[in-house]
Structure 1
């Protein structure tokens, strides 16, 4: 079974390109940002640069894994490479986690002894930051895979970080309030950490093969049991490859032995129900009423 959701077909041509564009935008801007942050003596901008450097690395990994995830099945990976995009999402989260710790180590001394940054230079960098990262968000925003969602979230964090830096730098250029710079830096780090843990949780759910949140297995079980000749549904297992492509195996117990054509009709009806319930790939086993199944309790 190789059918996809309709919403996935067009998107699969664009996700790699979207991540590639976001990668080059991010990497180019990170270099400007590191130089600019050091020049204007702003820990908020340097912390955002660390974050962006992490994002650039993450985007590079994401771009590679997203390309890899479209390869078909191989003798080693019978489901193809879809799950590699989840591995990428986990790696990205770890990179951001390390970056956030680095930001906190740099920022805390500045809270104790604030240094006055070049606020006007900060305003110019912040405006550029909002524009460049905003463009990258628009490229990845409609992503469906876990990988694209994490990438888009990274970039959205960057935009919000730059909006905060822009407001802070305007305030600092009008008033003598240098402690605002490390305060902004801490806010950026806190926001990153909050989202990192949320993303790690979602990615680990996929890796640990939990039932996808958008699949209602109880409802699907009831619908399958309502099919003519089906008396019982058991050994139903549901998981997702990448947060988008869902897989199910299920056993259907019949009320009597049926011929092959009737069996095929029951399977076709089951597939129709499961496809409508967001299942992309299904394996159905039919059992006669007297057949003993060792997996019944599974």
Structure 2
């Protein structure tokens, strides 16, 4: 799929998910007040944060498509990553707010409207499920974080549905705040994993799908390659990876041989999923002030 077509698809998916989520969030607040369910109200607060996060994702996805400029020489793709980071922070904050409200209610529970919870749960599963389908299988880290938002909402509504069925037959009001706590903890667990990956990329860590060792093995396998050093590998947005390195080759080769090695090295890097490689060729015995490192 061409890059611009992929970008358009990503933006459309996030835009659709944003409007679906925002409309349903307003509906949820009404439902939480109507049924007296803390679980629904907590999920509405969570979805309000999601709506804000999705709006940011949509905006930054558009920004990320801009061409490079003298100020941003690599382009704007890291703005998509910025959206993923903000989304994760919003989810963590929302979950803490939910826990602060739900834990005291465990000790002083009140019976919610179980029938109303049942109806709202069915609508919630349908609305959030439709939005999740729109961003399922997204290639960018931004889309994957958005997909987690929506999948968590679907699972939360399934839990609300189960609890509402139980409350229709048995008066166990403590299940409502307990469910709110479990939803919040589940969200914190999963967002924590995404947040860690996002922070590593922000700090220019090596992408999880490639290692320096793999790069060294691929580049020194090229005929004439002896070793590599001053190797730096990082990612713009979790999808587009950058490599810079020095390759030491056997001495005696002319310009044509050096050019051939560089071309083959860039092809090898592309085969590893590296979008942009900057490679410097050095001959054995040539002094290099940065030799000896990675």
TM-score by length of 1: 0.95
Return the match for 1:232 from 227, 231, 236: 227
> How many residues align structurally?
293
Distance of 1:8 and 1:48 partners within structure 2: 36
Query: Aligned to 1:76, what secondary structure does the other structure show?
Result: coil
Segment of structure 1 superposing worse, 224-233 or 164-173 = 224-233
The answer to whether residue 137 in structure 2 is matched with residue 142 in structure 1 is: yes
Structure 1 runs of 4+ aligned residues shifted over 4 Å read 6-10
- 1:226 to partner: Cα distance: 2.2
The one-character-per-residue Cα deviations of 1:230-252 (angstroms, maximum 9, x if unpaired) are 22211111100111001101111
Question: 1:53-92 to 2 correspondence within 5 Å?
Answer: 53-92=48-87
Match of 2:279 in 1: 284
Segment of structure 1 superposing worse, 258-267 or 246-255 = 258-267
The answer to whether residue 191 in structure 2 is matched with residue 170 in structure 1 is: no
The one-character-per-residue Cα deviations of 1:127-148 (angstroms, maximum 9, x if unpaired) are 0000000001100111111111
Distance of 2:198 and 2:217 partners within structure 1: 29
Distance of 1:231 and 1:69 partners within structure 2: 38
Distance of 1:227 and 1:7 partners within structure 2: 30
Match of 2:109 in 1: 114
Structure 2: state its 5+ residue gaps: none
Distance of 1:21 and 1:257 partners within structure 2: 60
Distance of 1:219 and 1:199 partners within structure 2: 24
Query: Aligned to 1:280, what secondary structure does the other structure show?
Result: strand
Match of 1:12 in 2: 7
Match of 1:3 in 2: none
Q: Highest relative contact order (Cα 8 Å, sep 6+), 1 or 2?
A: 1
Distance of 1:226 and 1:111 partners within structure 2: 62
Distance of 2:221 and 2:129 partners within structure 1: 50
Query: Aligned to 2:274, what secondary structure does the other structure show?
Result: coil
Question: 1:73-222 to 2 correspondence within 5 Å?
Answer: 73-222=68-217
TM-score by length of 2: 0.96
Segment of structure 1 superposing worse, 61-70 or 248-257 = 248-257
Segment of structure 1 superposing worse, 286-295 or 76-85 = 286-295
Segment of structure 1 superposing worse, 15-24 or 189-198 = 189-198
Structure 1: state its 5+ residue gaps: 1-5
Distance of 1:94 and 1:222 partners within structure 2: 38
